[in-house]
A and B are shown apart, each in its own frame.
Chain A
Amino acid sequence: MFRKIGVVGIGTMGRSISKMLALKGLDVLLVEKSQKALDNAIQLLEAGLDRQMERWAITLAEKKLILSRIHRMNTIQDLADCDLVIETASEDLDVKKHLFKELDQVLPVQAVLASNTSTLSLTELAGVTQHPERVIGMHFVYPASRIDVVEIIRGLETSDDTFERTKAFIDKVLDKKSIMVYESPGYVTTRLICLLINEALHLLGEGVASAEDIDSAMRVGYQFEHGPLEMADRFGLDSVLAALERMFREYGELKYRPSIQLKKKVRAGHLGVKTGNGFFQYNKDGERLT
């Protein structure tokens, strides 16, 4: 079973996955070239843990233990003895291809190479490696420590062994529900939720209802923890836009065409929780201001 796990990328998902793995008692090697950016990411992680402590989710001893399991690394070469690497870089095919090529050369042949991509082709990523059979998709939903579903994506050449080991790891070690999906942009989670968000944006654009009321309708009416617009703010509006554009390109269907409301917000740099404003306003702890 995987014990030492590399995480590439220090964005929202990279941090969230690292924290979740450390919480489960696993050793995490978090990689980022720039030491400053890496230190900053650890600070953000620590601030997140402090907030969890305030909510009684963890104790001070547990916080220290979690942080002690996350090790800072500066190069891909530092991952040479990992059993599993989860790549969480931005959704850019060229960036990911480059990373996969490098990871494939560094990692021992029995190690599994996973990507957290939600819209890019696993088969295409596997294509740049010498061992496409050990490449697999592990798509977590944010925040990874609270949401207990993971999509496992098989590329064309992913071996049964790689799949079985990954599934056992998610089900038994991470104690999450694994969903098996075949390669298809957006899989199940991203495809359904982005369409819902996009439709909510159309409603808003057409002036059918206010942002507040659209969210209330879904929250109260269908037991969503957050309504679709707040959800978009929490994912990051740029990420939602990128996912919709990718699906629009791949499927060629109009229903995936990103709403103009979304494009405007992203162009204005209003990206949601991470910039403090999107469809709603947020404080630096990510709590919504009413």
Chain B
Amino acid sequence: MTTNDSKDGELMARLAGGDMSALGELAHRHQGRVLELAFRTLRSWDLAEDVAQETFLRLHRAAKRYKPTAKFTTWLYRIVVNLSLDAQRKRAKAGASLEPELYEQLPASDPNTTEKEEMAALVKTAVQALPERQRMAVILHRYNGLNHAEISQTTGWSQSAVESLLVRAYANLRGKLAKMKNLLD
């Protein structure tokens, strides 16, 4: 267990004992990664903030049941992933488009944007155009630094399913990025 994990475990123990200041400390330590994960999934800061807030409230409710057997962040991300997917499905039910047409989102070519900015916009568009599960696997792997086993624990999908999702997702991304770059050039 790393120093970070033991610090998180200690904060969770304090929270379980009724020390509410531990919840604030946990929120300060992890809000960045929680917000990023929720935003990359939901593409809306308002929804990401709601998900992040609810995540920490759930952490509080579950503090007494928490056992530091797995990495704290894996457990935390599991809450964020579930809440984000729920929010995404609710939004889909409400009629908002979740899979906008890839080429509708292509950044307008602007002579002032640098190649780096253009690439960032292309990547964002390509990731957002992936199917839900592939997108989640890539976000957790590429942007949250989880390995295949940790993604499996976080999402509840089998490790072989995660690996197959990642292989397909990266192949898709390679194809989409090449296509978009050709369209823009």
Q: Do A and B come together as binding partners?
A: no
